Structure 1
Amino acid sequence: MALAHTVDDKVEAAYRRGEMFQRRKQMMDDWAAYCDEKK
């Protein structure tokens, strides 16, 4: 989900980018919260 695998088809790449944006954002928010706990 967070790795930048490439898709050759530009249309498919655009759909995947849109579908995964919220999931990546949540994952990074969770990671930031975890890192803040460890300070």
Structure 2
Amino acid sequence: MDIVSSFWDQVKHLIQEGKIISIDKVRDEIFENEDNLTF
């Protein structure tokens, strides 16, 4: 199930552009987990 997928797509895009920064643990949670809420 996609929950607000356009929001997360934009977050991912902004992180990749360096416009959003976060601690490593949060970044890893967004990019590396294997669940329906990660990329």
> TM-score if structure 1 supplies the norm length?
0.40
- Bigger Rg, structure 1 or 2: 1
Higher helix proportion: 1
